[in-house]
Chains A and B, each alone.
Chain A
């Protein structure tokens, strides 16, 4: 019985596709896909209906379903495009089969609906799973990308490293800061690390505590940690909280911190022009002799 219905649908795919297309098009106006070009919408619909037919014909052809849901995600179309499309297909198929039937009673209607559901439901499940699975994949990739961004370490020059922190610090990120800091100090052989908190919106006790611990750990492995980029309002809240940062060096700006780092590593920035001038003076004084 079910096989017969399936045969009707497959053999009359042209008419069913036509009915399906016109219903889908009517959905376009008052819906999500309103600002999509007609050509793209049309071609995607054709692909969609092909996917539906392919997977009804040879049950469980995973590959086409996978490819199609990935395409919909890449286009940025909502999940409802997929679910609406399949609902319409269900309705159109049931209508078509009933239209072809000689005798239509409630038992027959229920038979038709049931058997159509048997082919459409697994497809809904499969497409929805693929779609949400791809999303989860994207989210997890972005999570990794964010993690990589969350505590970057820049070896600006020999023996001096900078860690610029931007955005909210939660416990997970605080742990990463500590790990990256220690790993980086050893890897780059840094004598001084500057932690720049210019971009951190709130420094509460948790953040302060983690920074203090990180600085202490850096000290234990023989390097110096300088906290820079302390905005005036942050300085005041830290004082209000009663947190003592007296034990380790702080500077208001990255620039000042960097100068200090140069001092610690026994270096300084020399202005080239001044240098040339003094050389000229030296040469002149030599001539005078």
Chain B
């Protein structure tokens, strides 16, 4: 496992910074154009949720290697309001901000592994992994 590299998300343009860092790492790991686009989009969704729903948070990247495969881990962490009903936010079309409500379910489909942990009033931790072929 490599040490994490993180981007703090506070302003809208921080989303672009996170996306660029993630894409660079994905490119270096040898992901193809389509997977790079998927990874960049997933980062964009997670970072934008931090920007929209919390004061600030972080997007971190980690490269994991196990059993002869390599993966890129995206970790989204915030100390925001938390998510009360995780099942609900994972439904397509559920949005509290008038958005498409496609962000979180979309990230799940864009990535290979996806996990949300959240506590109301404490914050949210989302971990998503894309495995390189």
Asked whether B82 is an interface residue with its Cβ less than 8 Å from the other chain, the reply is no
Q: How far is the CA of A112 from the CA of B100 in the complex (A)?
A: 69
- Residues B41 and A232 in contact, CB atoms below 8 Å apart: no
Enumerate chain B residues within 8 angstroms of A203, measured Cβ to Cβ: 41
* Best-surrounded residue of B34, B36, B38, B103 (most CB of chain A within 10 A): B34
Q: Which of A82-90, A124-132, A205-213, A258-266 contacts B (4 or more CB under 8 A)?
A: A205-213
> Which of B16, B34, B44, B100 contacts A209, CB < 8 Å?
B100
B29 shortest CB reach to chain A, Å: 16
Q: How far is the CA of A240 from the CA of B105 in the complex (A)?
A: 9
- Interface positions, chain A 191-211, Cβ under 8 Å from B, are 201-206, 208-209
Enumerate chain A residues within 8 angstroms of B9, measured Cβ to Cβ: none
- Residues A236 and B34 in contact, CB atoms below 8 Å apart: yes
> Which of A232, A237, A242 contacts B105, CB < 8 Å?
A242
Q: How far is the CA of A170 from the CA of B37 in the complex (A)?
A: 17
Asked whether A243 is an interface residue with its Cβ less than 8 Å from the other chain, the reply is yes
Asked whether A144 is an interface residue with its Cβ less than 8 Å from the other chain, the reply is no
- Residues A170 and B13 in contact, CB atoms below 8 Å apart: yes
> Which of A168, A202, A205 contacts B37, CB < 8 Å?
A202
Select from chain B the residue with minimum beta-carbon distance to A207.
B44
Residue total for A at the interface (Cβ-Cβ under 8 A): 21
Asked whether A11 is an interface residue with its Cβ less than 8 Å from the other chain, the reply is no
> A205-B45, A205-B102, A206-B48 are known contacts. Are A241 and B37 too (CB-CB below 8 A)?
no
Asked whether B99 is an interface residue with its Cβ less than 8 Å from the other chain, the reply is yes
Enumerate chain B residues within 8 angstroms of A241, measured Cβ to Cβ: 41, 45, 102-103, 106, 109-110
Which residues of B are in contact with A by a Cβ distance under 8 Å?
12-13, 16, 19, 33-34, 36-38, 40-41, 44-45, 48, 92, 99-100, 102-103, 105-106, 109-110
Q: Which 10 A-B pairs have the closest CB atoms?
A: A241-B106, A233-B37, A204-B44, A233-B34, A237-B41, A240-B109, A205-B102, A240-B110, A205-B100, A209-B100
